[in-house]
Amino acid sequence: MSLHATKHSAHQNKADQVVIGFFTDQIKNQHTEQLNDDIKKQINERFNNKDFTGQSGQQVTLYHDNGQQVVLVGLGKNDDFTATALYDTTHKVVTAAAGSRCQSVALYLNINDYKNIDPEQATKLVALAASHAAYRYEDTKSFKDDNIHHLARIEVATNKDNAEAFRLAAGIAKGINTTRHLGNYPPNLCTPKYLAKFATDIAHEHDNCDIDVLTKKQMKDMGMGALLAVAQGSHNKPRMIVLSYHGTEKNKDPIALVGKGITFDTGGISLKPGANMDEMKYDMCGAASVIGAFVAAVELQLPINLKVFVPAVENMPDGKAYRPGDVITSYSGQTIEVLNTDAEGRMILCDTLTYAQEFKPEVIVDLATLTGACVVALGHNAAAVMTKTEGMADEFKQAGEQIHDRVWELPLWDEYQKQLDTSFADMKNIGGVPAGTITAGCFLSRFTKDQKWAHIDIAGVAWKDKKEGATGRPVAMLTQYLINKSQA
Ligand code: BES
Ligand code: MN
Ligand code: ZN
């Protein structure tokens, strides 16, 4: 599927389906004036006999003599129309088009006329919602007809003032699709080795990119004890993937993104229950998100230096697996008592955070499907951001609002740190039931003491359900953050 901006008016548009949005309070909008007489007559009939009034949720399909479909979509009252409504309406319309025989659809949704949404944001939301609705997972299907989908082309009606916003959205959409592919790809195929190959291909296919992949042996020689403890139960050997992009002067400190890449989380010896364990293939969505944001940044050639770190590891129970009670020495030298092998994400992240600091980044942001507690706290609506660096939480909240991919802050107050105390090591790897998302953040904060850093728990937003699968969140928010940084 390809995404395009169009400046053609609705009546010139040759798409199989032309979608036109109407507000109840502006029912005779600009696009009908430009339509051909046959369709205009049909529309006026619908208006006059009140078949179509523009109420939100209304959708009517008309047919042109030449076979073209014209879909009228109700947007409700302009005063009440929100960013969420725009995203959801676009998603619904394109989902319907993708399930029909249409090969191309053009969206005339009055991007410049909203009272509560500025044209730039509206352009991005329409493009992202359309792309999201058109995505199909086909990588491991031999019966491709299971996914009835003919949609090859989506056009969004914009004007020249929105061209840059559209360009940004198209780059972000590429990143999101990359992330969704990785999140949905099964754990027998999406192994640490596969992720390393995938990242290597990205680096080779784009200008100004480098790749480095550390092997298990290299990590052992370096002393990454916490990461290797998790890895030791699996026959799939771990990798540390480092992707670099140089988009501005060499001497400018990079932005570092770290993504949890547990390619499958069984829980290890502290085995998870069987129900829905299959979904723990998405425990590498932190990795998938930072790789997706990397793709978007490179696609857009943002003027930043970017480094993406992905510890790719499988967490399995085995005769060689790490066990509850083990005391491990991390790469930082701090010791960790393992009280639950299912708290493995923080074990691989702490060594990666220590390693990332060797590259003197301006800031480090880590993304991880870290805690079930985060799903309890915020559900599927917002990711949780935690930081001790002044101002950073607001930067993510703002980026999330701009692109409709929201985050909410949880506190990293020192009072929570004592939940990690133990008699047998510098810290234990779990903090008990109260504030489970925060104590995981506290654990990571002990490895980023002299570094501008934020942690984002994406356990609730990265995945929808077994039907919809990986969402591609929070790539839009993360890329918008990088765009904002590039303009600062
Ligand atoms: N990958 C899980 C967290 C998770 C759970 C993500 C559900 C998405 C949906 C993580 O490795 C984990 O198992 N966390 C434990 C931590 C606990 C042992 C302190 C959890 O949340 O139960
Ligand atoms: Mn786990
Ligand atoms: Zn996990």
The whole-number pLDDT of residue 129 equals 98
CA–centroid distance for 64 within its chain = 39
The whole-number pLDDT of residue 266 equals 99
CATH architecture of 174-487: 3-Layer(aba) Sandwich (3.40)
* pLDDT for residue 29 is more than 90: no
Q: How is residue 203 written in tokens?
A: 């680096």
The whole-number pLDDT of residue 143 equals 84
Confidence of residue 475 (pLDDT cuts 50, 70, 90): very high
Question: Does 338 contact ligand 1 (Cβ within 6 A)?
Answer: no
Average pLDDT taken over every residue of the chain: 96
Nearest ligand, measured from the Cα of 262: 3
Q: Within the chain, how many helices (H) and strands (E) appear? A: 14, 18
Rounded CA separation 317/315 (Å): 7
Q: Is 276 left (phi over 0), alpha (psi -120 to 50) or beta?
A: left
Nearest CA to ligand 1 atom 3: 371
The whole-number pLDDT of residue 362 equals 98
Rounded CA separation 193/204 (Å): 17
Query: Which stretches of 51-136 are assigned E, i.e. beta strand?
Result: 59-63, 69-76, 104-108
Say what the alpha-carbon torsion angle 464, 273, 263, 300 is, to the nearest 10 degrees: 20
Question: Does 458 contact ligand 1 (Cβ within 6 A)?
Answer: no
The whole-number pLDDT of residue 30 equals 63
Closest CA to 36 of 10, 57, 18: 10
**What is this structure's pTM?**
0.97
Contacts 24+ apart (CB under 8 A), 410-418: 410/377, 410/384, 410/385, 410/386, 410/437, 410/438, 410/441, 411/386, 411/438, 412/386, 412/387, 412/388, 412/438, 412/441, 412/442, 412/445, 416/442, 417/442
CA of 101 to the centre of ligand 1 (A): 42
**Which of 284, 370, 371 for mutating ligand 1's site (highest number of atoms within 8 Å of CB)?**
371
Question: Does 440 contact ligand 1 (Cβ within 6 A)?
Answer: no
Q: Which CATH class is domain 2-158?
A: alpha beta
Give the pLDDT confidence of 104-154 residue by residue, as tens digits.
999 999 999 999 999 999 999 999 999 999 999 999 999 877 677 789 999
Average of per-residue pLDDT across 452-475: 98
Query: Which stretches of 113-152 are assigned E, i.e. beta strand?
Result: none
372 class by beta-carbon count within 10 Å (0-12 exposed, 13-18 middle, 19+ buried): middle
Average of per-residue pLDDT across 79-102: 95
Question: Does 236 contact ligand 1 (Cβ within 6 A)?
Answer: no
The whole-number pLDDT of residue 34 equals 72
Atom of ligand 1 nearest to the CA of 440: 19
Closest CA to 65 of 41, 91, 95, 48: 41
CA of 285 to the centre of ligand 1 (A): 13
Give the pLDDT confidence of 305-349 residue by residue, as tens digits.
999 999 999 999 999 999 999 999 999 999 999 999 999 999 999
The whole-number pLDDT of residue 325 equals 98
The whole-number pLDDT of residue 213 equals 99
Backbone angles phi, psi at 380, to 5 degrees: -100, 10
Question: Does 16 contact ligand 1 (Cβ within 6 A)?
Answer: no
Report the SS3 class of residue 149: coil
Give the pLDDT confidence of 46-90 residue by residue, as tens digits.
989 999 999 999 999 999 888 899 999 999 999 999 999 999 999
Active-site residue set: 272, 346
Extents of the domains making up the chain: 2-158, 174-487
CA of 476 to the centre of ligand 3 (A): 23
* pLDDT for residue 481 is more than 90: yes
The answer to whether 171 and 486 are in contact (CB under 8 A) is no
Give the pLDDT confidence of 171-218 residue by residue, as tens digits.
999 999 999 999 999 999 999 999 999 999 999 999 999 999 999 999
Question: Does 373 contact ligand 1 (Cβ within 6 A)?
Answer: yes
Average of per-residue pLDDT across 389-403: 98
CA of 449 to the centre of ligand 2 (A): 25
